[in-house]
Amino acid sequence: MKQRFNQNQTFQSAVQNQISPDFTKFPRFACSLWFFNEVILSSLVVQNLNGRSRQKPLIQIMLLSPAAERSQDGLLSVLWELLEERSHRELFGLELGSGTGQHVVHFAREMPFVTWQPSDIKEEARNSIRAYIEATKAKTVLEPVYLDASEPWEKWAGLPQSSCDIIIAINLLQYSPFRTAEGVFKGSGQMLKQNGLLMTYGPYAINGTITPICNEQLDQTLRQIFQTTVCLALFYTNCQQESGLGSSRHRCAQTTGVQ
């Protein structure tokens, strides 16, 4: 169920710090915001007072995740701990599955000695990252690229071998097929410099125990989603077989990560 907020509440509570520097030259703008569970889709449309745009209509899409907002400071402190001894020189970092872009611009703002390369397989995510880069004037965040971590490292957006000081994957592995997890580790082994670092973040179990309770709940949710997806895939397979179209189990298995 979506909930709509008025313009002033939306601007002040959600995106004021992100967008206000970009729109000072415009006399007015319209802003609308919708909440979809934990993802907020913010659309900003710049207009003139007379209702005519000064140029082609400008629309920016910024995806906002409360979960990313909550975790970014904790992640930043870990990054500082890992990279503090190297902060005297320029570093290059690759983020796999950058999502909304909130994390990478936050890291860039606090760690100017790292040049970040964000990436994502989804076009809407890359558009959101571009919007954050423009809104925050982040000078050390590069143009986001398409990168599928399940593919061989040679297909990782043309990045050269042994080019990264650090690679980060935040909340990526638990939502991806196992082949993506394999690709992350195999590819990172090729992309990292000597003594480079791979940092992943997610709801991991330690000696079979998942903590805290919120991660236990997430684990159960993911298991339910996975089981539902498998059932739908098998149902689709049976329908295909009964209709005489042949088996499609392999194609369904690839989609769900089932081997």
pLDDT at position 165, please? 98
Q: Which residues of the chain have pLDDT under 70?
A: 1-60, 229-259
Instruction: State the pLDDT at residue 54.
Output: 47
Q: Is 39 exposed, middle or buried (0-12, 13-18, 19+ CB in 10 A)?
A: middle
| pTM score of the predicted model | 0.68
State the pLDDT at residue 39: 36
Place of tokens 């423009």: 134
Scored b (16 or more CB within 10 A) or e, 59-75 reads ebebbbbeebeebbeeb
pLDDT in the model for residue 233: 59
Burial class from Cβ neighbours inside 10 Å (0-12, 13-18, 19+) for residue 155 reads middle
Angle between helices 249-256 and 213-242 (to 10 degrees): 160
Q: For residues 240 and 247, is the Cβ–Cβ distance under 8 A?
A: yes
Res 221: pLDDT: 87
Q: What φ, ψ does residue 40 adopt, rounded to 5°?
A: -110, 130
CA 161 to chain centre: 23
Instruction: Calculate the alpha carbon distances from 159 to 93, 119, 145, 180, 197 in Å.
Output: 11, 12, 10, 18, 16
Residue 13: per-residue pLDDT? 42
**pLDDT computed for residue 224 by the predictor:** 86
> What distance in Å separates the CA atoms of residue 152 and residue 156, rounded to the nearest whole number?
7
pLDDT score for 61: 86
